[in-house]
């Protein structure tokens, strides 16, 4: 068994805080675990905190985008929080805009975003 | 004489295998350590490590494993970091196609090679069908 990233439940929000540089397999496991937890808990929101990540490459970027898409299909909105400025600049130059992923500067704002969209209904895309 | 025609000196070279998922993480760490040593800015460190991560994953998943050689380079008083990824895998039949944004022969996003080229200051790719692939990137301190 490989190590897994913990998923915390706070109210109807699932919180994932990536605390260290992940191997690709752990990234894939996380996506699977998260989808399962959304179904098991009926969570309406997911917050992924990447403030500890020193880089986001196309593999992790794709995971963030597909996690947001999968969550939406399962009835949960995803917000990615805490991206470092150097990571954001690098991602854009790499060619990944993460257009379908909602982002917020920090955890507090991310939770606020989710509350707002819950009140106003899901954001149309 | 332009700086690019001046000789490049190399030091602190380290070579490490890329034969498993964990080696991609190690490759990122090794490049980060030298990028700090070479005093690259935080943004340039991030760009180089991201490029290295893409290339290490390609070495593993398309090249069937290989090696990374990372070193400090100096040229005309400027310091940088060079990372070279080599494998003896199948090679890349159409390099221009492989360097096209969004093109992947597998299920990737097709941004590894093209993105690494944008993120690095220097980029070279040599590949011969059936004999393998070598990709190198350099980032210079400003
Ligand atoms: N080391 C390699 N050996 C053989 N083929 C490679 C290698 N690196 C890249 N390629 C080829 O180039 C394509 C583009 O690579 P890349 O831009 O990293 O995109 P992705 O990894 O998402 O497929 C790959 O799909 C693969 O066909
Ligand atoms: Mg790739």
Give the pLDDT confidence of B29-82 residue by residue, as tens digits.
Answer: 999 999 999 999 999 999 999 999 999 999 999 999 999 999 999 999 999 999
Our CA dihedral for A23, A24, A25, A30, rounded to 10 degrees, sits at 90
Q: What gap in Å lies between CA B71 and CA B82, rounded to an integer?
A: 5
How much distance in Å is there from the Cα of B142 to the middle of ligand 1?
30
- Angle, vertex CA A44, rays to CA A40 and CA A48, nearest 5: 90
Mind listing the pLDDT tens digit for each residue in B96-107? 999 999 999 999
Task: Return the closest-CA partner of residue B28 out of B87, B98, B116, B90.
Answer: B116
**Encoding tokens for residue A54?**
């020193």
Structural domains in chain B (count): 1
Contact across the interface for B54 and A93, Cβ inside 8 Å: no
Mind listing the pLDDT tens digit for each residue in A36-64? 999 999 999 999 999 999 999 999 999 99
CATH number for the domain that contains residue B68: 3.30.565.10
| Residue B141, φ and ψ in degrees, nearest 5 | -70, 145
A48: left (phi over 0), alpha (psi -120 to 50) or beta: beta
Q: Which residue has the higher pLDDT, A122 or A90?
A: A90
**C-alpha A97 chain-centroid distance:** 15
Q: Which residue has the higher pLDDT, B126 or B107?
A: B126
Closest ligand 1 atom to residue B66 Cα is 1
* Percent share of chain A, pLDDT over 70: 95
| Residue A61, φ and ψ in degrees, nearest 5 | -60, -40
Name all domains of chain A by residue range, CATH numbers in brackets. 7-119 (3.30.750.24)
ipTM of the complex: 0.93
Q: Give SS3 for B103.
A: coil
What is the mean pLDDT of the segment spanning A92-104? Answer: 94
Q: Which residues contact A86 (CB under 8 A, 6 or more apart)?
A: B42, B43, B45, B46
Q: Which of B28, B45, B50 sits opposite A21 (nearest CB)?
A: B28
Contact across the interface for A86 and B42, Cβ inside 8 Å: yes
With respect to residue B2, please indicate whether it lies within any of the assigned structural domains: no
Q: Look at residue A124 and tell me whether its pLDDT is greater than 70.
A: no
Full residue range of the structural domain in which residue B32 is found: 9-140
With respect to residue B46, please indicate whether it lies within any of the assigned structural domains: yes
A114: left (phi over 0), alpha (psi -120 to 50) or beta: alpha
CA nearest to B109 within chain A: A58
Q: Look at residue B24 and tell me whether its pLDDT is greater than 90.
A: yes
With respect to residue B82, please indicate whether it lies within any of the assigned structural domains: yes
Contact across the interface for B46 and A23, Cβ inside 8 Å: no
With respect to residue B50, please indicate whether it lies within any of the assigned structural domains: yes
Position of tokens 């995803």?
A78
Task: Return the closest-CA partner of residue A46 out of A102, A116, A87.
Answer: A102
Residue B6 has a pLDDT of 87
- Ligand 1 site residues (CB inside 6 A) read B 54, 58-59, 62-63, 87, 89-92, 98, 103-106, 108-114, 133
With respect to residue B4, please indicate whether it lies within any of the assigned structural domains: no
pTM of the model as a whole: 0.95
With respect to residue B1, please indicate whether it lies within any of the assigned structural domains: no
């Amino acid at each position: 068994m490989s190590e897994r990233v913990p998923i915390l439940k706070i109210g109807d929000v699932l919180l994932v805080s990536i605390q260290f540089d992940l191997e690709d397999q752990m990234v894939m496991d996380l996506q699977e675990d998260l989808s399962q937890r959304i179904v098991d808990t009926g969570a309406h929101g997911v917050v992924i905190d990447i403030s500890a990540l020193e880089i986001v490459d196309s593999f992790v970027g794709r995971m963030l985008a597909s996690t947001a898409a999968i969550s939406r299909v399962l009835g949960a909105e995803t917000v990615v929080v805490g991206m470092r400025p150097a990571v954001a600049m690098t991602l854009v130059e790499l060619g990944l805009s993460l257009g379908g992923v909602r982002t917020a500067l920090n955890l507090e704002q991310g939770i606020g975003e989710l509350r707002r969209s819950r009140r106003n209904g899901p954001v149309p895309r | 004489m332009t700086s690019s025609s001046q000789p490049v000196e190399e030091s602190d070279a380290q070579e490490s295998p890329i034969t498993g998922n964990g080696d991609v993480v190690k490759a990122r760490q090794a490049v980060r350590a030298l990028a700090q040593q070479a005093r690259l800015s935080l943004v340039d460190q991030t760009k180089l490590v991201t490029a290295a991560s893409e290339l290490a994953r390609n070495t593993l998943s398309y090249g069937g494993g290989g090696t990374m050689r990372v070193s400090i380079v100096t040229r005309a008083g400027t310091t940088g970091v060079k990372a070279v990824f080599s494998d003896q895998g199948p090679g890349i039949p159409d390099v221009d196609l492989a360097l096209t944004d969004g093109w992947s022969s597998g299920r990737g996003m097709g941004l590894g090679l093209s993105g690494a080229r944008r993120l690095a200051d220097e980029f070279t790719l040599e590949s011969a069908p059936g004999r393998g692939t070598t990709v190198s990137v350099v980032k210079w301190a400003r």
